[in-house]
Amino acid sequence: MDIVKLRTLIEEHNYRYYVLDDPVISDTEYDALFRELEQLEAHHPELITPDSPTQRVGAAPLKKFAKIEHSVPMLSIRNGFTEEELLAFDKRVREKLNVDKVSYSCEPKFDGVSIALIYENGVLIKAATRGDGFVGEDVTQNAKTIKSIPLHLRGNDFPDLLEVRGEVYIPLEDFERFNESSSKRGDKVFVNPRNAASGSLRQLDSRITAARPLQMFCYSIAGDKALQFKTQHEVLEKLKEWGFRVNDEIKVAHGIEECLVYFKELEQKRASLPYEIDGVVYKVDNLREQEELGFVARAPRWAIAHKFSAEEVESEVLAVDFQVGRTGALTPVARLHPVFVGGVTVSNVTLHNMQEIERKDIRIGDFVKVRRAGDVIPEIVSSVKSKRCDNARLIELPSKCPVCGADVMYVEGEAVARCSGGLYCSAQRKESIKHFASKTALNIDGLGDKLVAQLIDSDFIHYVTDLYKLTEEQLLTLERMGKKSADNLLRAIESSKKTTLAKFLYALGIREVGEATAKNLAKYFGNLESIMQVDADALQQVPDIGPVVAEHIELFFKQKHNKELVNELLKQGINWPDVEVEDGSLPLQDQTFVLTGTLESMSRNEAKAKLENLGAKVASSVSKNTTAVIVGRDPGSKAKKAKELGVAILTEAEFAKLLSL
């Protein structure tokens, strides 16, 4: 048989089998045709073409995926979970279009992996994952292994350049068979079809992808090529003619009421479908209307995903642990009897905070209803009161940090409890050291996030005090650290010892103590010893310090480990000049200024410091209480706001005169 006719015949059978689900020959007959083509191409390799059925697999494994920038961003679709949200969406659409009723294309929301396919003169030349919506990964070789993706389009009325988008998935029966055979071989078993599809599509070796039972449904044409059609429905019909699989459940609904009927019908059919879906997507069917509606942020105004209610199952709360986050927040985590829900096995669920526990009345030993919110994040919906046993125990917030033993701070009215051992607690180590070394604190130039992580991971620093014990020998063992960089860092660490009391207080990372509060403390008390010893009542005498901030400061300095670390830092040579205690007679006392634009004679931080040294407050926004706005080159909206409010505006020259007071 002629090689071209043989290829055409094989592709026709592929189309009937994978797209139409209507094969007309047996698998044995198909295999015989395929072997005949392989033999012909083996004898005449010069006749092999990129779109030949034999070229679906065979490329050498990649070292890494190349990046592909999407010509049209692959945006996400906003979710709606209630009928009220859907009705509100329809109302916005109708009002924007100024019509009484809108027709929608109703499509199953597949639980798979999005893909973009690019065809040039009808031949598949590129395939890319969604990525971040703007840049994806080049998975062309892997896409070619998926039999329901045509290598060459049918017919002759397709554009010279065409981008088709769809969803790659694994049918449920194929998923079960694949996992069963993998288990028998001792290979990896996937948790759910979506994870399996995602992992399979992103294999560097396309031969592995070819062994996975991937399929694809297409759902749109990207860019202005779609506008040669009137409706989304017409696009899908044409895609079928060109050889793509289009889902049979897609329907056009005339008005939002018909959409809701469709949703309920599909929800009832969900369990019997041969693939996983997690909702319905409604798209304005008229493409010109889609164009008129446009986009907002990273989502189209003309589409919304109506998610099914999350599956709920019951499990038992075996225990509750408290985890300490990088900022010291204590988060209760329920340890459950493992349960399979929404496609994954769940054994740990965050309870967020004590208020949430009280609101849901959850106890250790309770049976609880568990679901995956948005089919993603596991959550406990409620306790099952009818099953509560007599020995169910209340969940209690620990008084001491489970990591470092410092007191737990729980301010009434705040949702989150926190460990007060910021400098000492190992759970907060990276954040406390990064903050300590930051520009507005001790300003250790060159000590960035990655280097802090390296130093901690190498066991060179456990607390901020260890920064001043680092040696060149230790630093030279770190990745991408040469002698010059090591010497520069050690000099920066040494230079940081000369600071101010305000910067040192800010560097300690006391909760709610920012730069302004640290300066107020330094000016009011004049020395560190007084600040470490005063109680919350005395602290509230300082301007702008209320009861919550005062309590944070008092508790911080009550912690033995914090005091030890502060004293160790002083022993290592951190020092500052004496502070002149505030006497209330500074020339700009109780005045508030705002800076905007670029100053020629000094930086924004220098200007801020000069104002504060004269007793002024520097705010970030303009209000009627602002004394004046200081404008530099290219001022922003703050200058305009000042004019509207009648607030004084000072040029840089006038500002310089003010500073000379």
Q: Residue 537: name the closest of 525, 519, 524, 549 by CA.
A: 549
Sign of CA dihedral 139, 142, 144, 149: negative
Distance CA 288, CA 231 (A): 8
Interacting residues of 602 by C-beta distance below 8 A, sequence separation 6+: 610
**Helix axes of 83-97 and 256-269: crossing angle, nearest 10 degrees:** 140
How would DSSP label each residue in 610-623?
Answer: HHHHTT-EEESS--
Pair 418, 332: CB distance under 8 Å: no
The neighbouring-strand residues paired with 60 are none
**Helix axes of 172-185 and 193-201: crossing angle, nearest 10 degrees:** 70
Distance CA 389, CA 162 (A): 63
Could you say which of 64, 67, 96, 109 is catalytic? 109
Q: Residue 421: name the closest of 437, 411, 407 by CA.
A: 407
Tokens linked to 518 = 């640290």
Q: Residue 496: name the closest of 574, 430, 433, 606 by CA.
A: 574
Distance CA 306, CA 77 (A): 10
Distance CA 67, CA 198 (A): 17
Cα of 572 vs its chain's centroid, Å: 41
Pair 512, 552: CB distance under 8 Å: yes
Active site includes 484? no
Collapsing DSSP to helix, strand or coil, 386 comes out as helix
Distance CA 200, CA 208 (A): 7
Q: Residue 420: name the closest of 300, 537, 304, 511 by CA.
A: 511
Pair 512, 485: CB distance under 8 Å: no
Residue 47 DSSP symbol: G
Interacting residues of 532 by C-beta distance below 8 A, sequence separation 6+: 557, 563, 566
Q: Residue 458: name the closest of 468, 444, 473 by CA.
A: 473
Tokens linked to 219 = 């759902």
Sign of CA dihedral 155, 159, 160, 166: negative
Distance CA 561, CA 616 (A): 35
Distance CA 171, CA 217 (A): 11
Pairing mode of beta strands 377-383, 408-409? unpaired
Distance CA 336, CA 316 (A): 6
Which residues are designated catalytic?
Answer: 109
